[in-house]
Structure 1
Amino acid sequence: MSSKKDDIKFAYWVPNVSGGLVVSKIEQRTSWDIVYNIKLAQLAEQNGFEYALSQIRFTAGYGAEFQHEPVAFSHALLAATTKLKVIAAILPGPWNPAVAAKQLATIDQLTKGRVAINVVSGWFKGEFQAIGEPWLEHDERYRRSEEFIRALKGIWTTDNFTFKGDFYRFHDYTLKPKPYNTNPHPEIFQGGSSRAARDMASRVSDWYFTNGNTVEGIKAQVDDIRAKAAANGHQVKVGVNAFIIARDTEEEARAVLKEIIDKADPEAVNAFGDAAKQAGKASPEGEGNWAKSTFEDLVQYNDGFKTNLIGTPQQIAERIVALKAVGVDLVLSAFLHFHEEVAYFGEKVLPLVRELEQKQVALAA
């Protein structure tokens, strides 16, 4: 099912990291291998998903023992699909913008404009230490990410690019071939919930990903980032994380959520929570992603339960349209059993979302 320009869009988390998308010992019929993921990408494409997000992890931890590298993995998924756009997550520090720009420009050429990038500023201090990368202070990580994005844009859109930053320098550099997508470059996504994250997005990013939250909480973030972007003469779209449990009855869906939390791995959840909150506490306002997350919230990496897309197809469709009404452009989805649930979402939930969107348009006319 194709979407119109103003329809809310859907992405899914690529399980290129082992352990699934909840830190729980519940059965997760998912796999990090390429055969499973190719089938998933094809199913997602057939069921109305326009984007997939490949995760970046360098070391084991918090239930993720194995991790495939996201740029190479994204290319494999793109080669097996025809319309899906795959967003490769990249960490400034391990990646230099020149390397990332060249990698992604090549993939963009080979796939006729279907690759994008998610610039991850970093929350996992132990990972940086393990690979010998300096761990910067919170706002410095975002300052580096902003320079990374400015460098990417410059390399992708201009010849003889020169840039003199605190973290990156370029001298009369021309990349050829440039990306296939000249509108004006591959889409740049970025996450975070801190002030520094929103400020950066309002200046340089095409998309801003935020953790799961209530409609009211998301509206406050959307209003803040849109006002800041407008003051900068910039536009930014907003995506929100959600763990979707769609079942024929609300009782079934709530029972699944209860089982996920009852079977959570406390040691892994608490270790993840400590690492994630440490990263946010270092921000000047003492907050960031996961600052107010409970144990139950942290069972899903990015507060996906908070968005409350849990229930019947009708309930979930109504909540998605409520998110759209406060300015959400994309829902970044995770599921317990990816193959079955992506297909169920496409068959049962998405048609209701499109129907409700059409009703809203008719009422506004």
Structure 2
Amino acid sequence: MIGGAPADRYAGPLLGSPNRLKLAVFSANMAGGANLTHAPEAPQGTWTESVRIAQAADRAGIEALIPVARWRGMAAPARREAHRSFESFTWAAGIAAVTGRIQVFATFHIPVTHPVAAAKQIATVDHISGGRFAVNVVAGWNEDEFGMFGLEQREHDDRYAVADEWTTFLKRIWAAEEEFDFTGRYFTARRVLSEPKPVQRGRPVIMNAGFSPAGRDFAARHADLTFAMVPGVEQAARVVPELKAQVERDHGRKLSVFAGAHVVCAGTEDEARRAYARMVDEVGDREAAANAIRLLIPNSASGDFDADGMAAAAIAGFFALPLVGTPDSVVAQMAELADAGLDGLALSWLDYHAGLDQYVRELRPRLIAAGLRER
């Protein structure tokens, strides 16, 4: 192989991790991170900040970085600073060049990225990273953002029919040794040829960001990991083991399942609860939360949140599981999620720099002691 030996995705930073509970840093490529907030300590969406967060996560032994694909924010248009985000493919290429071990994802929307373009972009970043690249595939998104591209949102299950053909086409591009024509229901292409191939044999790691029945079916056929939106331990314990068993039974392989988790950790339970209340009630962007609920909930079949908790869930972690408490309590909650069948958590904080520092000092030693992490 020109440019280096092939890499095995199963031996990479994420799939090859020996840790029982894998961890990723989520949404570090955009203003606010995973929060809809006015808080000054939240990410500002600068390149220097992205590099600092990525390198801190790399040093901390965290397995992956997962950015969000966002073309505009949820805040009012006048809050221009809240709409800052870096495009995830180019962000990943830059982050791959300044990190040494961590798995670097790009998150992207299938309707705005053609498989031929994606094949080249993915292969490029995989070479930059030395085989550490991964892709988070999103079949649909919200109408405001798609309207910027002149696109209409498809019906939910039809999005996954497109995604199935898109991914089938993409895999064929990487497998082909000679040019070929492709004729499908949604894509037609002539004399397709793409070099170089990815560094990872066959294809890079694929994650699917959807946990509806159609999303789970797509993940079972195409993904190494799926991203579950679960409101609590009980639902995770009910649906996650069932999905894993189905994939192993029907497809003869293992599927890893991640969920988002928003960490609010303090010295006492009361301090942590007050910090969470401040995040939601004092510095939360209620207008952005209402906009997020308007755009996302009608178009999603992945989540099941009660109406009263939606605004808080959108503000603090963008519908992630809230892990609120002391270091011991937060680690205990992580252990419950691992026991429920989750393989990993995509973590966010209000202040990512402070959160990563606290992870290294307070949470990582406890996770090691609990048998959830080796380092």
Match of 1:22, as an amino acid? N
- Taking the aligned partners of 1:313 and 1:270, their CA distance within structure 2 comes to 31
- Taking the aligned partners of 2:222 and 2:117, their CA distance within structure 1 comes to 19
CA displacement at 1:135 relative to structure 2: 1.7
CA displacement at 1:56 relative to structure 2: 0.7
CA displacement at 1:104 relative to structure 2: 1.1
Is 2:355 the counterpart of 1:341? yes
Match of 1:13, as an amino acid? F
Match of 2:316, as an amino acid? Q
CA displacement at 1:162 relative to structure 2: 5.4
Query: Pick from 124, 137, 158: which aligns with 1:119?
Result: 137
Query: Pick from 293, 297, 302: which aligns with 2:313?
Result: 297
Aligned ranges 1:61-210 → 2 under 5 Å: 61-62=74-75, 64-160=82-178, 163-170=182-189, 173-182=192-201, 184-210=202-228
- Taking the aligned partners of 2:280 and 2:322, their CA distance within structure 1 comes to 15
Is 2:72 the counterpart of 1:59? yes
Is 2:291 the counterpart of 1:271? yes
- Taking the aligned partners of 1:359 and 1:278, their CA distance within structure 2 comes to 38
CA displacement at 1:175 relative to structure 2: 2.5
Query: Pick from 15, 30, 38: which aligns with 1:25?
Result: 38
2:262/2:316 contact within 8 Å kept: yes
CA displacement at 1:326 relative to structure 2: 2.0
Query: Pick from 243, 260, 265: which aligns with 1:241?
Result: 260
Query: Pick from 17, 21, 39: which aligns with 2:52?
Result: 39
Partner of 1:363: none
CA displacement at 1:52 relative to structure 2: 0.4
* The 10-residue stretch of structure 1 (265-274 or 236-245) with the greater mean CA deviation from structure 2: 265-274
CA displacement at 1:176 relative to structure 2: 2.0
1:146/1:200 contact within 8 Å kept: yes
Distance 1:40 1:320, change over 3 A: same
Match of 2:370, as an amino acid? L
Partner of 2:3: none
Local SS of the residue matching 2:110? coil
Determine what percentage of the aligned residue pairs are the same residue.
25
Partner of 1:15: 28
- Taking the aligned partners of 1:200 and 1:314, their CA distance within structure 2 comes to 37
Distance 1:61 1:53, change over 3 A: same
2:28/2:67 contact within 8 Å kept: yes
CA RMSD of aligned residues (A): 2.4
Aligned residues: 351
Q: Which ranges of structure 2 fall in alignment gaps of 5 or more residues?
A: 1-12, 77-81
* The 10-residue stretch of structure 1 (19-28 or 48-57) with the greater mean CA deviation from structure 2: 19-28
- Taking the aligned partners of 1:237 and 1:271, their CA distance within structure 2 comes to 31
2:208/2:226 contact within 8 Å kept: yes
Match of 2:146, as an amino acid? F
Match of 2:343, as an amino acid? D
* The 10-residue stretch of structure 1 (79-88 or 262-271) with the greater mean CA deviation from structure 2: 262-271
2:26/2:67 contact within 8 Å kept: yes
CA displacement at 1:141 relative to structure 2: 1.0
Q: Which ranges of structure 1 fall in alignment gaps of 5 or more residues?
A: 281-286, 361-365
Query: Pick from 276, 280, 284: which aligns with 1:261?
Result: 280
2:35/2:318 contact within 8 Å kept: no
1:276/1:290 contact within 8 Å kept: no
Distance 1:359 1:195, change over 3 A: closer
1:243/1:335 contact within 8 Å kept: yes
- Taking the aligned partners of 2:114 and 2:86, their CA distance within structure 1 comes to 19
- Taking the aligned partners of 1:59 and 1:137, their CA distance within structure 2 comes to 22
Distance 1:265 1:172, change over 3 A: same
